[in-house]
Amino acid sequence: MPLGPEGNYLAEYAPYFTNRYQTPWGPAVNFDGPESDEVRRFFIENALFWVTEFHIDALRLDAIHAIVDPSARSFLEELGEAVHCRAQELQRKIYLIAESDRNDSRFVTARPSGGIGLDAQWSDDFHHSVHTLVSAERQGYYQDFGRISDLAKAYREGYVYSGRYSPYRRRRHGNSSREVAASQFVVFSQNHDQVGNRLLGERLTQIIPFDALKLVASAVLLSPFLPLLFMGEEFGESAPFQYFTSHSDPGLIEAVRKGRAEEFRAFRWQGEIPDPHDESTFQRAKLHWDLRDRQPNRLLLEFHRELIRLRKSMPALSHLSKKDLEVTAWEEHKVLMVRRWYERDQVVQVMNFSSSKVELPLRLPEGRWTKCVDTLEARWGGPGGVAPGEFTSSGEIRWTLPAHAFWAFERFDGGEK
């Protein structure tokens, strides 16, 4: 159903909207005022229609931070309860995944514990932490990130901002996510918002070198969270994904153009904003599927497949837990080490986000370790891997990590953790 600024006729039939609150897209949906019971039912029935008639198994709830609803029993809570009840009736798993920039763990906290009871949420903090480590960008909300300790906290907890002061917002932001399960966070290095809301819509392929792309892919796909890939990311799509529209109202077209210019002001990006209403802006966003048969794109696609295979086949990686995990960060070197374990299996991942090689002593449990990932190997389009195929740790080992390297090693022997 159209709910945008054009072609939206719902208000002609019932009080679906309210002028008491405003959103970036216009009047807010009436979830708490007079006649709001029926408005809630309309949207809940719409969700049930999708999961029942079309067998959709997950719904992403966009920008829930823009929903104004001070009701004692919120619309989101009511929606979650209705969808989960339908899932039981259908004997299926159906998930509600929230997109929110509030860093509020109550959205995914169970209803009996005082939360809203949604199933998962996107983690912008994880994205911002990774993006600022591999790029030089510190404008806009990126000014809140850029430290390896930020990514370390994202791995340990989920949120980076869990109540501390945000320079970008000029206030404290977020609450604790320590008790939120790892399986309730969706992480990514790119998505439609983070790419489409850039001035030129550049993907990471246009911003960082090829070896850094593999490092970022490894950090996302081998994380203890739910990984998300942006369309074409897996084979290194280079087409920009720029904001495009197809409106008919000249006034609205001009308002969108001015709004985009205002939105980019905080980032101080250089260049001319692509016209959202120009058809060529849309045409440029189309994927180049033939890239999958070219190099190095084909290698990158195979590398993603290998990471997914490892994630599914190795117990320590398929076990999504923030408790069976240890994170060590070297701020001055931009190096992160993540050790994960499950039953007899252990995996250690070492990531160098700097553009120069680093020599470090790493503390590892004793035993024999076997290499499972070296992003710089020639078979993955790198200059040649230098990670040892096997080694025995006596408690500490000293390594020289090349720039933008990601190494992973497995120990499967049931020894001490």
Catalytic-labelled residue, pool 62, 179, 293, 396: 62
Separation between Cα atoms, residue 335 and residue 323, nearest integer Å: 21
Beta bridge partners of 26: 23
Place of tokens 């802006």: 281
- CB proximity list for 188: less than 8 A, separation 6 or greater: 122, 123, 126, 127, 194, 220, 227, 228, 229, 230
Among 286, 109, 308, 327, smallest CA distance to 201 is for: 286
CB atoms within 10 A of CB 407: 24
Compute and round to an integer the Cα radius of gyration of the chain.
Answer: 23
Catalytic-labelled residue, pool 99, 202, 263, 302: 99
- CB proximity list for 259: less than 8 A, separation 6 or greater: none
Q: What angle do CA 373, 186, 259 make, to 5 degrees?
A: 120
User: What residue type is assigned to position 238 of the chain?
Assistant: S
Burial (CB < 10 A; 0-12, 13-18, 19+), residue 69, is buried
CB atoms within 10 A of CB 142: 17
Buried b (16+ CB within 10 A) or exposed e, 201-237: bebbbeebebbbbbbbbbbbbbbbbbbbbbebbbbbb
Beta bridge partners of 400: 359
- Is 89 noted as a catalytic residue in this protein? no
- Is 234 noted as a catalytic residue in this protein? no
Separation between Cα atoms, residue 273 and residue 257, nearest integer Å: 9
Q: What residues are labeled active site?
A: 62, 99
